[in-house]
Amino acid sequence: MMAWLSAAAFAQPGMFVLGVDGMDPVILQRLIDQGRVPNLAKMAREGAFQPLGTANPPQSPVAWSTFVTGVDPGGHGIFDFIHRDPATYHPIASATPAPEGEATVFRLFGYVLPISVPEAGNNRGGTPFWDLLHKAGVPVEVYRIPGNFPVPESEAKVLSGMGTPDLRGGYGTYTLFTDQPVPSTSKGDIIRVQVADYDLDGIPDTVDTALKGAPDVLHLEPGQVPRDDDYLTARVSFSVDPEHETVAVRTGDGVTVLREGEWSPWMTVSYDAAPFGLMPIEGIVRFYAKELRPGFQIYASPVNISPAAPAMPLTSPTDWATDLLDEIGPYYTQGMPEDTNALRDGTFTDDEYLKQVGLVQEDTRRVLDRALDGFKPGSFGFLYVSDIDLQCHMMWRHGDPKTPDAPPHPAMDPATAAAHAGNIDHFYEDVDELVGTVRAGLPADTRIIVMSDHGFQPFHTKFHLNAWLRDAGLLVLKDGATTGSLTDVDWSRTKAYGVGFNGLYLNIRGREGQGIVDPAAAGALEAEIRAGLEGVLAPETGARVVRRVVSRAQAYHGARVAEAPDLVVGYDAGFGNSDESTLGMVTRAVFEPNREKWSGNHLMDPEVVPGVLLVDRPIEGSGHDLTDLTATLLEHFGVAKPAEYVGQPITIR
């Protein structure tokens, strides 16, 4: 049966989709006009190039889940990076809800041994298109798809992308071994070390230290959040040569020699969760010799889950991760490997950050080569590319690539801006090269689609949504306080609160833990808030801050609408919710110039950040969105569209 189905699939051309996170149609059009992206220009000239409607809100996990499942967030249940627990109001990661059910453990000599522990599944609902294609006999290989961790069971070959944690279980914690003072606000793990002079030759040259890895799971209660000292450690040593600017880095059996300013290859680190090596947990890490003398600073990347022995599944089928390792060598498994935290902290300069991004790009090219080598006639392939998105987030401050005559970004540093103003354009050129590789590496009849989940805008002003709600009298803190967190909120007098980048929740009675808003009065309250927010003007420029506020009933359809925020706040270009407010904090000011390196954004109204649709053949119609694209994939392979899929297939001529 499968052979017959496969034969049927091979009878038609294959399809390859390059998913370029954050590619913006305005920037792309400019670069096409300037003749800087010849491969993309050729696609636009010979095929189709249109803006692609994104999800609401246009956040990557939301948009990619929409593309993967063909339904809007009301169907797949991913409404934001961050959701809230209605009972406690606490922010929670949208991808992995807290597992339900009680764990059973057995305690022995201080160890907490799990007998049965409820597993945290992937919160994304709906049916991924790859399952439908695979079931129809279409060979499928999907590389680095966002929002697919924890990896759901599937027989289709899928490598998890954005959202895949590092070995610590977070989205990427780097380590800096340094003998220099570092601000305590750092997002990394800063290890103060002393460079020792063991041979008493007057030259300090040796550092023996430890690198944190996986949580010490056999000493943690089920569900317990690890504290700083609850992680397993692996011994790492650095030996600086007394004469040369070189260092030997040793981890377990591995050793490498680095010059100052060099990156190591991937090195394996092993953590023992149980005595006698009974439960080894393996990770891979790269070191960067930032400074060897006179100061000592060595950066270690977040410890990635090793594809050789994954501590958690990275792919479906599970052993595909190891097959890929055998074919292309070690690769980044962390979902967002570009270390934006190190740049935000000042641990990396712009140049150092770009060098690290270069390593990720190299990795992407190897994965693409593998994807093209493995592409069979009549099959479906997908590769996700992260560079444009993250570099638009981090490099926009150096010069607005969308509106070159825009006023300088508040985070612009004249000392570095000139050297980096063109960085974002270069990343478009790099994607253009990938497109050239794709076109050259596939059978001539393969349909090639380049798409993005959203576009980009500057982010020059932070809006503290919860501070605005406080000033509007809708959110009240205990004891007359004006600043605080969600734990400081007086819920008996609070009607609305914000959690997530675009989410606003009403404190509905019977739904929220301490709700006070009568469900019957919710509509009027929503209208009041909508009118208020849509009328907010920036104090200095008078610009509109919020372009549109929509209710969940307007925005979503499907079985999970009830989990959505009551209102989705769509910011206008240049504005966005602050990180503090996203996590439920209430700040003093409502507005704040964004002086952070995270200077470009897309967490706005979907209409100001459409994505890109490029097809290598002409298409019919316009105004397509992500769900249409999903329907198109299925139709291309003759697979019936499930009833819940909301998009309409795009006709490719």
Partner 1 sequence: MTFLVGPITSVFDVLLAPFGHGWPWFDLVLWPLVGAVIALVVYKYVSNQKAIAAAKDRIALHLYEVRLFPEDLRIVLGSTLKILWRNAVYVGHNLLPMAVMLAPMMLLITQLVSHYAFAPTPVGEPVVLQVALDSGRPASSVQLEVPNGVTLDAPPVRTADGHAYFRLRGDVAGDHTLVVRQGSETQTKVWSVGGEARKVSPLRTDSLEAWLYPGEPALPGDSSFRELRIATAAQPMHWLPDGEGGILLWFFALSLLAGFALAKPMGVTF
The single residue listed with the structure tokens 């992680």 is: 231
Residues 567-586: x/- map of binding to partner 1 (CB under 8 A)? --------------------
Q: Which residue lies nearer to partner 1 by CB, 249 or 517?
A: 249
Q: Give the DSSP per-residue string, 390-413.
A: HHHHHHGGG--SS-TTSPPPTT--
Pick the stretch among 48-56, 181-189, 253-261, 464-472 that binds partner 1 (CB under 8 A): 253-261
Do 462 and 604 contact (CB within 8 A), yes or no? Answer: no
> Cβ 290 to partner 1, closest distance in Å?
16
Instruction: Say whether residue 351 binds partner 1 (CB under 8 A).
Output: no
The rounded distance, in Å, linking the Cα atoms of 53 and 503 is 20
Answer left, alpha or beta for residue 16, where phi above 0 means left and psi between -120 and 50 means alpha: beta
Instruction: Say whether residue 253 binds partner 1 (CB under 8 A).
Output: yes
DSSP 424: H
Structure tokens, 167: 């070995």
Q: Which residue lies nearer to partner 1 by CB, 262 or 534?
A: 262
> Cβ 200 to partner 1, closest distance in Å?
9
Answer for which of 94, 148, 256, 361 binds partner 1 (CB under 8 A) is 256
Q: Which residue lies nearer to partner 1 by CB, 96 or 246?
A: 246
> Cβ 289 to partner 1, closest distance in Å?
10
The rounded distance, in Å, linking the Cα atoms of 237 and 458 is 43
> Cβ 197 to partner 1, closest distance in Å?
8
> Cβ 582 to partner 1, closest distance in Å?
43
Q: Which residue lies nearer to partner 1 by CB, 245 or 490?
A: 245
DSSP 484: B
> Cβ 147 to partner 1, closest distance in Å?
33
Q: Which residue lies nearer to partner 1 by CB, 247 or 545?
A: 247
The rounded distance, in Å, linking the Cα atoms of 25 and 31 is 10
Residues binding partner 1: number (CB under 8 A): 26
Instruction: Say whether residue 369 binds partner 1 (CB under 8 A).
Output: no
Instruction: Say whether residue 254 binds partner 1 (CB under 8 A).
Output: yes
Answer for which of 112, 220, 257, 328 binds partner 1 (CB under 8 A) is 257
The rounded distance, in Å, linking the Cα atoms of 293 and 311 is 37
| Phi, then psi, of 552 in degrees rounded to 5 | -65, -30
Structure tokens, 96: 């992995």
| Phi, then psi, of 560 in degrees rounded to 5 | -115, 20
Instruction: Say whether residue 262 binds partner 1 (CB under 8 A).
Output: yes
The rounded distance, in Å, linking the Cα atoms of 329 and 308 is 10
Instruction: Say whether residue 341 binds partner 1 (CB under 8 A).
Output: no
* Nearest C-alpha neighbor of 501 from the set 468, 456, 464: 464
Residue 284: partners with Cβ closer than 8 Å, 6 or more residues away: 266, 267, 268, 269, 303, 304, 305, 306, 307, 308, 330, 333
> Cβ 208 to partner 1, closest distance in Å?
10
The rounded distance, in Å, linking the Cα atoms of 460 and 462 is 7
Residues 183-212 that bind partner 1 (CB under 8 A): 197-199, 201, 205-206
The single residue listed with the structure tokens 């989709």 is: 17
Residues 232-251: x/- map of binding to partner 1 (CB under 8 A)? -------xxxxxxxxxx---
Instruction: Say whether residue 258 binds partner 1 (CB under 8 A).
Output: yes
Residues 150-189: x/- map of binding to partner 1 (CB under 8 A)? ----------------------------------------
Residues 311-330: x/- map of binding to partner 1 (CB under 8 A)? ---------------x----
DSSP 445: T
* Nearest C-alpha neighbor of 214 from the set 149, 309, 142, 288: 309
The rounded distance, in Å, linking the Cα atoms of 190 and 209 is 12
Do 459 and 598 contact (CB within 8 A), yes or no? Answer: yes
Instruction: Say whether residue 29 binds partner 1 (CB under 8 A).
Output: no
> Cβ 338 to partner 1, closest distance in Å?
24
Q: Which residue lies nearer to partner 1 by CB, 257 or 583?
A: 257
Q: Which residue lies nearer to partner 1 by CB, 196 or 524?
A: 196
The rounded distance, in Å, linking the Cα atoms of 434 and 368 is 8
Q: Which residue lies nearer to partner 1 by CB, 203 or 516?
A: 203
The rounded distance, in Å, linking the Cα atoms of 276 and 282 is 15
Q: Which residue lies nearer to partner 1 by CB, 243 or 540?
A: 243
Q: Which residue lies nearer to partner 1 by CB, 119 or 326?
A: 326
Instruction: Say whether residue 112 binds partner 1 (CB under 8 A).
Output: no
DSSP 2: H
The rounded distance, in Å, linking the Cα atoms of 256 and 468 is 53
Q: Which residue lies nearer to partner 1 by CB, 244 or 617?
A: 244
Q: Which residue lies nearer to partner 1 by CB, 10 or 263?
A: 263
In the complex, the residues that contact partner 1 under the rule CB under 8 A are: 197-199, 201, 205-206, 239-248, 253-259, 262, 265, 326
